Amino acid sequence: MKIIGTAEGKKLYVHLIGELDHHSAKKTRDDIDRLLMNSYITELTIDMKDVSFMDSSGLGVILGRYKILAERKGSVRICGANRSVDKILRMSGIYSLVERS
Amino acid sequence: MFDNEIHLSFMSKSQNEGFARMVASSFVSQLDPTIEELSDIRTAVSEAVTNAVIHGYDNKNGTIYMDCYCEGKTVTITIRDDGNGIDDVELAMQPFYTSKPNLDRSGMGFSVMEAFMDKISVESEPNVGTTVTMVKTIDSSGAYVKEKQDE
C-alpha cells in the first residue's frame, strides 16, 4: 500500500494506492494518523480510486479515522471507490457516518 | 466426487492473505464467474483467512488450510485453522462484534462472508480450531457471454 497525503489548512487529502486488507491496514492507519497529528485538521478525504481490493480490515481503518475526526467535530469523505470497494462500503452502512463523493 | 479440487496449506502470516485470495480466485475462474462474483469470493476468503491469522493464531505462527472444490457451477471453500477456536460462534457472527476492540477492527468479517457468499457455516471448538465453509453458485451469465463471443 502506498499512501500519499496532501495537507492544506484544515484539510487533509489522502490518496491510497494498492490493496487495503489486514496486511496493509497497520501501515495505512499509522501513515494517516501521522498526518492527522496536526490537530487543526478537521476535514479528511480518502481517495480510493487506486484501491484495487478492500475487505473489512479497510472498514476498520476508515471507522478508526472517523472516530478521530468526530472527536474534533470534523468529517471524513470517501471518493473514487470502485464497484467492489463501494459494495463493501455500502453493505457495512459506513456511508451513514462518512460522506461519499 | 467433485469436478475439481485443490488443497493448500500456508503459514498464518498476513502476507499470505493476498496469496490465499488470489489462489481461490484463480481456482474459481474455471467456472466463468462475473467480475463481481470473483471479487465477492476474493473478499470472503480474505475475511476468513484474516480471522484465522488474527483470532485463530493471535498473529503467531500456525498453519492455515484452504480447500476449494467445484461441482457443476457451485464452489465450496473451507478455511481451517488449528488455533484458539471461538467460545461463542453466534456472538462472533454478530455484525460489529469484535473480540479485539482495541485493534480498530470493524467486526464485520462474518457479515461480509454471509453477504458475499450464498451460504457459510462455522464449526469451532475452543483450543482445537475453527473451520469456515463457504458456498457460492456461479451464475452462468458470464459463461453465456463468452459462448456468444466464441460463435
Contact A66, A76 (CB under 8 A): yes
Contact B134, B117 (CB under 8 A): yes
A48 vs A17: CA distance, rounded Å: 7
H or E segment at A56?
A: helix A56-71
Closest CB to A21: pick one of B40, B46, B111.
Answer: B46
Question: Which residue, among B9, B19, B136, has the nearest Cα to B76 in the 3D structure?
Answer: B136
Q: Would you say domain B4-150 falls under CATH 3.40.50.2300?
A: no
Closest CB to A23: pick one of B17, B36, B107.
Answer: B17
B53: CB partners within 8 A, 6+ apart:
A22, B12, B13, B14, B16, B17, B59, B64
> Count of A–B CB contacts within 8 Å?
70
Chain B interface test: which of A20, A26, A57, A66 (most B C-beta within 10 Å): A57
The pLDDT tens digits for A28-56 are: 999 999 999 988 999 999 999 999 999 99
B43 touches chain A (CB under 8 A): yes
Q: Where are the domains of chain B?
A: 4-150
Structural domains of chain A in order of their starting residue, each with its CATH number:
12-100 (3.30.750.24)
B125: CB partners within 8 A, 6+ apart:
B85
pLDDT at B149: 53
Instruction: Dig out the grid coordinates for A42 from the structure.
Output: 478537521
Packing angle, helices B35-51 and A83-92, rounded to 10: 60
Closest residue in A to B111 (Cα) is A92
pLDDT at B3: 94
Contact A43, A13 (CB under 8 A): no
Contact B8, B66 (CB under 8 A): yes
Residue B147, pLDDT > 60, answer no
B104 touches chain A (CB under 8 A): yes
Q: What is the DSSP letter of B55?
A: I
The pLDDT tens digits for B90-142 are: 999 998 899 888 788 889 999 999 999 999 999 999 999 999 999 999 986 55
